[in-house]
Amino acid sequence: MKLIISILSIGCFFSVSAQEVKEKIAEKKYEGYSYIDAIAIYEKVAEKGHVSVELFQKLGDSYYFNGMLDKSKVWYDKLFQMENQTFDPEYYFRYSQSLKAVKAYKEADKMMEKFYALTNDYRGELYVKNKLYLVDINNSLDKFTITDAGINSEFSDYGGYFKDTKMYFVSNRIPQKNNKKIDKWTNQNFLNIYRAEFSDSAKAVYIDEIVDEFNTKYHESSPVFTKDGKTMYFTRNNYNNGKVVMDKDKVIKLKLFKASLENGKWGKITELPFNNNEYNFAHPALSPDEKTLYFASDMPGGYGNSDLYKVTINDDGSYGKPENLGDKINTKARETFPFIASDATLYFSSDGLIGMGGLDIFKSVPDENGNYSSFHNIGAPINSERDDFGFVESPFKNIFFVSSNRDGGKGYDDIYKVKVNPEPKKGIIINKVIDEISKEPLADTKITLLDANQNKIAETVTDAQGNFSFNDVRTDREFYILVANDSYLAKEFRVKGIEQNNQVFEVAPKVIKTKPGDDLVKLLNITIYFDLDKYFIRPDAEVELAKIIEILKMYPNLKIDIRSHTDSRQSEAYNLRLSTFRANSTRDYLIKKGIAKERLTCKGYGESQLLNNCTDEVPCTREQHQLNRRSEFIIIQ
């Protein structure tokens, strides 16, 4: 139940056929932002078999704007299954976001392509320019470890700001005393600000009661403090001094407030002068020098549902005119939850910039003029398929916090602790490529380094000696090396970091010069052995026979004679019979794999052509005897 601009207002609403009455009631609730109530009524209408573009749009939107993207997908599915219907192209974007929530990225990307084709929108352009965005996002998977912060409840907990070792965060876990009001948007309690104390090891020790000085019966959120701890900016519904102010549509908007610490208690709560009753202003963030306040708003003149703004805080405590951060950061969707880090880096959430789905957290480093004109998705595992937001620094080394409604959480929204992992050890891969037959080095051969998921990491070519290298390779990772040369069969080798360094990779030529009498076993530098007294094809022999089969398929006019041999153990008659079985077994195997039998002859030679001196009565090792249990593939045409 995060306070995103497009869902942060509190609506007030007033209360033919029974179905039409239900739709009218649902529409009132929908227009009054009572989305949870509207969902229940709309779904009852849908259960009765009613089908319409508007019904499916309203149901999908009700879930979408509540951050329940897996459920919005169900109704957008039905919307897009309707034939001969036209609707706002924005639904292609919302459908894409909803598909990402269930990891249906291929379908989501197709929707983005259609969205861009229809609108030429900046959000679609970002996707078209970086269709491999998931590779970039997942590159940071090992850089961080994300865990439950230890302060979550079964309700909504999010955001936060550290003052010393205390985190001020937001929750609707317990209604404030005597507060029976319910947020009609979510049908949950209103949000209030809590405190949590953390130990030196960044472990939550205890949670304070709600801060009564500034919590009301409506929403409070997003506290941020000055360095001296005497001033706090925060978000609240348009409610002050016990009075509620509504806009022209009878909706209570959000505003930015300022509070001062006096005698250990917060007082002098005043709203900032640039607020407007008709629009939302939320999620304050201070620059490191505390001279600029950043926030999110849906005021006119922006680019989307909510934009990021900044306003100067003058020395006398007055404020300048709010300035939009521009179209390099803001989109036609939602940009929200800004946070300015101690190094002036801007962190914010967006569902308009390209990401994993829902709100993703982005970072933007100021340029030389102090402007934010570029951005970078901070990646997984910080971002997920759902809403990720509320980045905040902590006083603990290499630890920060984020909020998310991702799967596996304790409540509706949860706060997570993120630890920056130590930089992994890296090294240099140095290997060599040679011709499998001639053993000569292969120059100018393209080498591609792939990760375990077959994503390209880097590319190079071999030098005159067939050598190649890659720098900054993780020593603890498994990689694949793809060797490609126009004159050779492409081959892939699996390596683990630099543990298998200085290897020689052999590749087979596409064209092999042959003549009658040549043995394919020697040309291909392979070995095909049989077990003692056996004639079945061993698994390791199948791998080598696959190379023979490949050559026979490449050269359909080639004919070969299969010659099988045994060692000297057993009688000559027995060995002759065994070798004949082996020759026939090999021929049958090749025929089974698609080689015409007319191209194959075979014969067993028993122990008549030993490769060594392991004759009868000569002591030999098992390995020496195995050298004689072999097959040859002699080219006869």
pLDDT of 256: 95
Q: Which of 375, 348, 332, 239 is nearest to 294 (CA)?
A: 348
* CB proximity list for 276: less than 8 A, separation 6 or greater: 253, 299
Contact (CB, 8 A) for 193 and 223: yes
Q: What's the pLDDT tens digit per position in 574-590?
A: 989 988 988 998 999 99
pLDDT of 181: 66
Token output for 461? 């070519």
Which pLDDT band holds residue 213 (cuts at 50, 70, 90)? Answer: low
Where does residue 527 rank: exposed (0-12), middle (13-18), buried (19+ CB within 10 A)? middle
pLDDT of 499: 58
Q: What's the pLDDT tens digit per position in 315-358?
A: 999 999 999 999 999 998 899 999 999 999 999 999 989 999 88
Contact (CB, 8 A) for 327 and 304: no
Q: What's the pLDDT tens digit per position in 42-75?
A: 677 777 777 888 888 888 888 888 788 888 988 8
Which pLDDT band holds residue 21 (cuts at 50, 70, 90)? Answer: very low
pLDDT of 1: 52
Contact (CB, 8 A) for 456 and 450: yes
Q: Which of 466, 504, 470 is nearest to 485 (CA)?
A: 466
Residue 301 has pLDDT above 90, yes or no: yes
Token output for 293? 């306040």
Which pLDDT band holds residue 33 (cuts at 50, 70, 90)? Answer: very low
Which one is predicted more confidently, 561 or 490? 561
Angle made by CA atoms 466, 470, 473, in degrees to the nearest 5: 145
* CB proximity list for 14: less than 8 A, separation 6 or greater: 28
Go through the domains of the chain in sequence order and give each one's CATH number. 5-138 (1.25.40.10), 426-507 (2.60.40.10), 520-635 (3.30.1330.60)
Token output for 591? 């025929």
Average pLDDT over residues 312-316: 95
- This prediction's pTM: 0.67
The CA–CA distances, whole Å, from 266 to 271, 282, 354 equal 14, 20, 40
Query: Mean pLDDT across the chain, nearest whole number?
Result: 84
Residue 20 has pLDDT above 60, yes or no: no
Which one is predicted more confidently, 389 or 16? 389
Q: Which of 422, 479, 385, 376 is nearest to 143 (CA)?
A: 422
CB neighbours (10 Å) of residue 103? 11
Which range is least confidently modeled, 1-5, 204-208, 398-402, 442-446?
1-5
Token pair 């409604």: residue: 405
Residue 83 has pLDDT above 80, yes or no: yes
Which range is least confidently modeled, 255-264, 441-450, 494-503, 584-593?
494-503
Which pLDDT band holds residue 527 (cuts at 50, 70, 90)? Answer: confident
Which pLDDT band holds residue 8 (cuts at 50, 70, 90)? Answer: very low
Average pLDDT over residues 453-478: 84
Which range is least confidently modeled, 51-55, 226-230, 287-291, 524-528?
524-528
Which one is predicted more confidently, 251 or 422? 422
pLDDT of 488: 85
Element (H, E) at 37: helix 35-47
Which pLDDT band holds residue 31 (cuts at 50, 70, 90)? Answer: very low
Residue 24 has pLDDT above 60, yes or no: no
pLDDT of 486: 87
Average pLDDT over residues 496-503: 67
For residues 164-177, one letter each, b for 16 or more C-beta atoms within 10 angstroms of the residue's C-beta and e for the rest, the string is eebbbbbbbbebbe
Rg over alpha carbons for the chain, rounded to the nearest Å, is 35
pLDDT of 116: 92
Distance in angstroms between the alpha carbons of the first and the last residue of the chain = 78
Contact (CB, 8 A) for 182 and 198: no
Average pLDDT over residues 508-528: 80
Which one is predicted more confidently, 512 or 118? 118
Residue 130 has pLDDT above 90, yes or no: no
pLDDT of 189: 78
Helix 69-81 crosses helix 90-101 at what angle (to 10 degrees)?
130
Residue 244 has pLDDT above 60, yes or no: yes
Left (φ > 0), alpha (ψ -120 to 50) or beta: where does 336 sit?
beta
Average pLDDT over residues 177-200: 74
Q: What's the pLDDT tens digit per position in 352-378?
A: 899 998 899 999 999 988 899 899 999
**The length of the chain, given as a count of residues:** 637
Residue 22 has pLDDT above 50, yes or no: no
Which pLDDT band holds residue 129 (cuts at 50, 70, 90)? Answer: confident
pLDDT of 452: 77
Q: In 162-301, which residue ranges form alpha helices assigned H by DSSP?
A: none
